[in-house]
Each structure stands twice: as structure tokens, then as C-alpha cells.
Structure 1
Amino acid sequence: MLCIKCGKSIADGSAYCNYCGQKQNAKKPKYHKRESGSGTIYQDKRYKKPWLAWAPSSKYGKGRQYIGCYATRNEARAALEDFMKNGRPELYNATLADIYEMWSKIHFNSVSYSAVKLYSSMWKRFKNVQDLPVRELRTAHIQEIVNSATSKSAADIIKAMATMLCKCAMENDIVQKNYADFVKIPKFEKKEKRIFTAEEIESLWKCSDQKPVQAVLLMIYTGFRRGELLALTVADVHLREGYIVGGEKTEAGRNRIVPIPPNIPELKEFVQQWCSDTGTGRLFPLTPAKFRSDVFDAALEIAHIAPEGLTPHSTRHTFASLSSAAGIKPESLQKIIGHANYATTAEVYIHQDITKLIEEMRKISR
């Protein structure tokens, strides 16, 4: 070979010229075009693993098949050759149900029990595509499920769940694209929540010798969710101090202090009686469905209140409305009710102690 600078003859493969010392250009290895019918490998720098491997269309007669993305060209070539020799990888035909099982085993360990119940409930919405190979899942499938939601919050959860399932499939090189990213959330008309009127609350008080009615009244004056009330135990009740510890769902909502309004001593009497009567340690050892029928619906029937538009969650909205009308400070209400999205100022700089929260609840009366 000749030196690239002085032109003198030097030994083939020399890194430097023996005469002038010039470093010789290293030849980059040539990658020859793959033979027809042997698959495709190419680089796409938009991906973290930029080397993509595709099987040839002639292999299965249905157009070329995506195999996976890899960090290097050699890894992609090895995967393609293995595919051509041994067929599709183990997870190639994985269904959406397979991915859900794989994803849930990991994800459910990092979220609350209520979140697990929510995801499990939303998974039922995917019943029409659960047996579909995830590589055949497209935006249209997910969009149809999202469109079937009856509220924006449900639609948001469905899209988020589909996004995580597709991401799980991508991490296992089953699909190349997250089709859930292209789903659009439809517009929903915001419905005004029905709350208990002053007349309906008075009707409940007239029947407050009945335990179902007492439970509804406690929810109206404390803002406890149905699930939170059902989770309460005797150990959560601190009658002498005047508060109950409970809550779920968000970090802000879990194990929060909820004062019993001092100006409504009847509520403390209700709770004290429940603590004495329970044989299980739980104040209401019921399932959510049983609570709805045997407690909430029963209370409305006892008090002769029309049930249209009223749900157990209506008590929480009623509490928020009563608190606002009574003049309870927003930052105190947000701590009592356990919302996660209260203002940073209230969360970081305003520190409420139990005494102050009880004083705020003193503003509520019958």
C-alpha cells in the first residue's frame, strides 16, 4: 500500500508510514446489502435502541414482520438470524391479556389497594381486545374503548392504562410503536353533582335513631368516602380528642385526621355506640355493594328522600359545600377532605395542628 501523505510504498495494513510517520486512514468495514428474502436491518436514531430488525414478507406471506429494536447492528443481525432459523420469539404472539398479566404483577406492587381495584375494574373495558395479539393492537381499538367511557376521568384512566400496557410490550420488543399515544380524549359535558339539600338533611336528623341514617350523617359532616368509612376500625377512633384517623386513595388522603364537628355532639354519640356494638373491630364490616343497599339506600328510604341523583359520594360533595358555606378556610378543608391537588402554599407553608382543625370544624352546625 502507498502512504496517503508521501506516497511511498509501505507494508499492507500499516497504521503509520515508516518514512513520514503519517497515520493511515482506517478503512471502515463494509456492510453489504442483505440478500432478497433474508430480512431487513436499519438504523432509526429516534429510538433508544436504534437498530431495527424486520423479517421478510415471504416468511409468512403477510407483509414484513417486526422483530425488535436493538442497541447494536450485530444484536439486530443475531436476532434476525435466530428468527429466520427458529421462527418467532416466545412473546411474539402475546395477547393483550398476556401483557396485562405481565404488567400488573409489577405495577400493582407500587400502587395503593384502591388503585389496584380501579385498574382491575377498567381492565374489563378491554374485553373485546383482550385476546388480540398485542402486535395487532392499533389506535382505533383503544380509541373505541376510550369513547365508551361515560366521564373524562374514566377516559383518562383507560388511555393511561393502555399507554402503560403498550409500553410494557415495547420494552419486551413485541411492538415498535405505542399506539395509545395517538388516542384523543373526547369532550364530556360536565355534570353538576347532586348534593343533599337542607330539607333532606333535616329529614335525616328526624330519623337519626337508625344506624343507616347515622352513617350517612357522619359522611355528610366529615367528608369520608364510602370505602374510607368501611375501612374504619375502633383503633382509628379518638373520641376524647374529637377526631377519627382514616382515608385512602392519594398520599394526601391516606391516614388523615378528620375532626368530628364539636357543635354536633350527636355524631360522637353515634360513633361511640358503633364502637361498643362491633364484634369485629370494624365499624361497618360490609362490602361496598352491601353498604350501598343496606345502609345508604336504606337511609334514604327511612328518611323518605328521593334517591334520584344521589350516591354515597354525594355526601362528600355535600360536606365540601357545607364547609365552604360555613367559612372554613380552604387550606383547612383541603387537609380535612384529603385532596391531593391543594395549593403548594397550603401544603408546604401552612401547618395545621389538630386543635386548629377542630376549631375550623366548630363552624359547622346543624
Structure 2
Amino acid sequence: MLCIKCGKNIADSSAYCNYCGKKQSEDKKVKYHKRERGSGTIYQDKRYKKPWLAFAPSSRYGKGRQYIGCYATRNEARAALEEFNKNGRPELYNATLADIYEMWSKIHFNSVSYSAVKLYSSMWKRFKNVQDLPVRELRTAHIQEIVNSATSKSSAEIIKAMAVMLCKFAMENDIVVKNYAEFVKVPKFEKKEKRIFTAEEIASLWKCSNQKPVQAVLFMIYTGFRIGEVLALRVEDVHLSEGYIIGGEKTEAGKNRIVPIPPSIPELKTFLRQWCSEIGSGRLFPMSHQRFREDIFNAALSTSDIAPEGLTPHCTRHTFASLSSASGIKPESLQKIIGHANYSTTAEVYIHQDIAKLIEEMSKIKR
């Protein structure tokens, strides 16, 4: 037979010409009949993983065409549209943002830490003005307003990230076709210098170190634990004879890390021994974040006559980092002790710290 393009002789039934490579038979395109007027719309948008989008007929609800869902094939989209025309909107069509949050949280909270759950739950309160809004009506402007109300860059980023996850969950369940949260802009915030405890304030704390609230603040200053990490510490995490504590959360680098007790500050062991003896078992501080702030942190400042302006429990962590740096602790050791994830490749891959070495580094911190 002859090639349909170059005209040369090729073997019968050849799929392609062995001279010019032309395919010898054209694939027949499947013809789809035009949809009946008023029965809805189906079209393909290759930007989406499931490119076939189905919309209900615009005249049915008087608001323009209504999105039904996105599907992997045209046939799936057509079946969904026929089901819609026959039985009405799908079950989740009118799901509110609160409905989506409830479904999403039941799944997502099982894979994150306790502190992350507390953080998401707290941030969800920021969405109060749109919680009852059908998620298909949620737009970038709604979320942008919430993000703009944040008081810090970190909280703004968390709000946006949470909104992105909620909208993505809605997309996965064919409720919306676009993730409007992805278009939100995080505003610029003026970077504030973090407040740390001065040498005079630390000295004031030591003068009142017979009080448990003050002891707790000193413990945080000399270990760098976050407030959530302190609240999660249990008696079995404290290894007094070996001279270290196992604790930490929030990041992979920070989880279950080894934090040595500074050998040059033996009072910390005395505090820990007393707390463990009082509790017996379980958490060292069985209380909420709010109660810890009021009954421990604020009480310690009041007892020590320290002005609370600008001081928060997290300032103890910044104070620890400053003391450690000033004491000459090696950066790679400090990063492991404090639990930051941004290790350099050399420090993370090639430097292996053992407990004895970390304790030796912590001994550089003095009162």
C-alpha cells in the first residue's frame, strides 16, 4: 500500500510509514451531541486534575449557572449532571464553612500534635463572620479580610494556610472548583525586637527562687522549652541521674529532643526533684496554657517585682538562646538543644552529638 503522505510503498496494514513516520489512519473523534437547552453545561478545563466541570442550568435557580463538581471524564460529569437534574443538588452542595471545618478537623487533627490542634482551634475563631457562609460562596475577599485582621505575620500565615486547607478539602469533595484562599496576600508587618529577661531581672527571680512559679520561669530560661512543651512534660521525661530531659514538640526537629540540665546550675535539679516528688506521676504542670500564664508566669513576675511590659512566656526561650550564644555554646549544639529545624547541611548530616557532648556544652551557661 502507499503512504498517505509521501506516497511510497509500505507494508500492508502498516500503522506508520517507515519513511516519513506518518500515521496511516486517523483516530475518529468521538462526537458528542450538543446538550439540550436548559439541561446544564459541561466543559473541559485542563488546569484541573479532574478537568471536566459540570454546571446546573442557570434558569433553574435564577442566579446564573451553579457549579456541581469536577470529574475525571466527560461521562462522569454527564452522569453527575443527569443525577442533579433528576434528584436535585448533591448532599454537600450547601455545606457551610463550619461544616467543612468539622469534617476536615476530624481527619486532620489525627495527624498533628496537640499544640497544632490547639493552634488551629484558636485560629478557627477568627473565621466567625464567615463560618455560616456556604463554602461555594466564599471568595478571596472574605479570607483576605480575616488575614488582614491578624496582629502578626505568623498568625496571618497560619490563617491563610488553614483557609487553603479548608478550601482544598472542599475541592476534594467536589463542592467548589477553585481554591480562592490561595490568592490571599499576607500583609507586611513591622518586625518587633523580641524582649528578653535582663541580667537584673534574672537576678530578681533567683532572689525569690523558693517559690514554684519563679522556679518554673527560671527552668524555662535555662532550658529553652516553649510553654506548650513545659505543659507536656511528664515525670518519666525527667532523667535527673543522667542530667537531661526528653521533651519537645511542634516540629520534627523539636519533637522528643534531649535537653541537658545545665550542670553549673544545680538548683534546677533541685526544682525538678521537688516537682516530681509532689506530682508522683503524669504531667509536671497539669494545667491549661491560660492558667500557666496567669498562675505561674504572671505570678512569678509579680513575686519578683519585674515589670511585665513586653514579657511573655516565649521570651524565656529567646533569653535562653541569648544566654547560650553569649556563653559560647556552638551553634550546631544550640540548634539541637533548642529544637530548630533550620540546621545547616554540615551540622545536620555530618556532626553527630551525643548526650555527654550536649551536657558539656550546657555547662558553659552560668548564673
Decide: shared fold, TM above 0.5: yes
Distance 1:69 1:272, change over 3 A: same
- Cα deviation digits, residues 142-174 of structure 1 (max 9, x gap): 100110111111111111111111111111111
Q: Describe the superposition over 1:160-206 as per-residue Cα deviations: whole angstroms up to 9, x where unpaired.
A: 11111111111111111110111001000111111100000011111
2:255 maps to which residue? 254
Instruction: Name the SS of the counterpart of 1:222 in structure 2.
Output: coil
Residue number in structure 2 paired with 1:204: 205
Q: State the alpha-carbon separation in 1 of the partners of residues 113 and 286 from structure 2.
A: 20
Give the counterpart letter for 2:317 in structure 1.
R
Shift of 1:280: 4.5
Distance (Å, rounded) in 1 between the aligned partners of 2:34 and 2:228:
63
Q: Secondary structure at the match of 1:42?
A: strand
SS at match of 1:276: helix
Letter in 2 for 1:267: L
Deviation at 1:82, TM superposition (A): 1.4
| 1:94 counterpart residue number | 95
The equivalent of 2:113 in structure 1 is 112
Counterparts in 2 of 1:28 and 1:247: CA distance versus 1, 3 Å: closer
Cross-structure match for 1:12: none
The DSSP-based 3-state class of the residue aligned with 2:222 is helix
- TM-superposed CA distance for 1:27, in Å, is 5.0
The equivalent residue for 1:360 is 361
| Identical-residue share of aligned pairs (%) | 84
Q: 2:175 matched to which residue of 1?
A: 174
Relative distance call for 1:38 and 1:315 in structure 2 (3 A) is same
| Aligned equivalent of 1:298 | 299
Matches within 5 A, 1:1-366: 27-366=28-367
Residues 25, 327 of structure 1: alpha-carbon distance in 2 compared, 3 angstrom cutoff: closer
* CA apart distance, 1:110: 1.3
Q: Mark the runs of 5 or more structure 1 residues left unpaired by the alignment.
A: 6-14, 16-22
Distance 2:247 2:322 in 1: 21
Deviation per CA, 1:314-335: give whole Å up to 9, x if none. Answer: 1111000000011100110011
**Which deviates more, 257-266 or 137-146?**
257-266
The worse-fitting range, judged by mean Cα deviation, of 29-38 and 246-255 is 29-38
The secondary structure found in structure 2 opposite 1:74 is helix
Matches of 1:233 and 1:216, distance apart in 2: 17
Deviations 1:195-236 (A, max 9, x none): 100000011111111111111111111111112222222211
Structure 2 Cα separation of the partners of residues 44 and 72 of structure 1: 11
How far does residue 281 in structure 1 lie from its aligned partner after superposition? 3.7
CA contact (8 A) 2:236 2:281 kept: no
Q: Compared with structure 1, are the counterparts of its residues 254 and 24 closer, same or farther at alpha carbon in structure 2 (3 Å cutoff)?
A: closer
**C-alpha separation between the residues in 1 aligned to 2:104 and 2:189?**
29
Deviation at 1:59, TM superposition (A): 0.8
Quote how far apart the aligned CAs of 1:268 are: 1.3
Cα offset, 1:112, TM superposition: 1.2
Deviation at 1:107, TM superposition (A): 1.2
Structure 2 counterpart of 1:237, which letter?
A: V
Q: Deviations over 1:250-273 (max 9, x none)?
A: 111111111111111111111112
CA distance in 2, matches of 1:319, 1:35: 71
Count, aligned residues: 346
- Partner residue, 1:20: none
User: Distance in 2 between the 1:231 and 1:25 partners?
Assistant: 68
Matches of 2:45 and 2:295 in 1, distance apart? 60
Measured after TM superposition, the shift of residue 279 of structure 1 is 4.2
What is the one-letter code of the residue matched to 2:41? T
Closer/same/farther in 2, CA of residues 27 and 257 from structure 1, 3 Å limit:
closer
- TM-score, normalisation: structure 1: 0.91
Q: What's the CA shift for 1:245?
A: 1.2
* Cα drift, residue 24 of structure 1: 7.7
- Residue 172 of structure 2 aligns with an amino acid whose one-letter code is E
Residues 25, 140 of structure 1: CA spacing in aligned structure 2 closer, same or farther, 3 A cutoff? closer
Q: 2 CA distance for matches of 1:228 and 1:26?
A: 64
What amino acid does structure 1 have at the position aligned with 2:347? A
SS at structure 1 position matched to 2:229: helix
Give me the whole-angstrom Cα distance separating, in 1, the residues matched to 2:140 and 2:276: 52
Q: Which residue matches 1:19?
A: none
- Alpha carbon RMSD of aligned pairs, Å? 1.7
One-letter amino acid of the counterpart of residue 88, structure 1: R
Deviates more, 1:243-252 or 1:186-195: 243-252
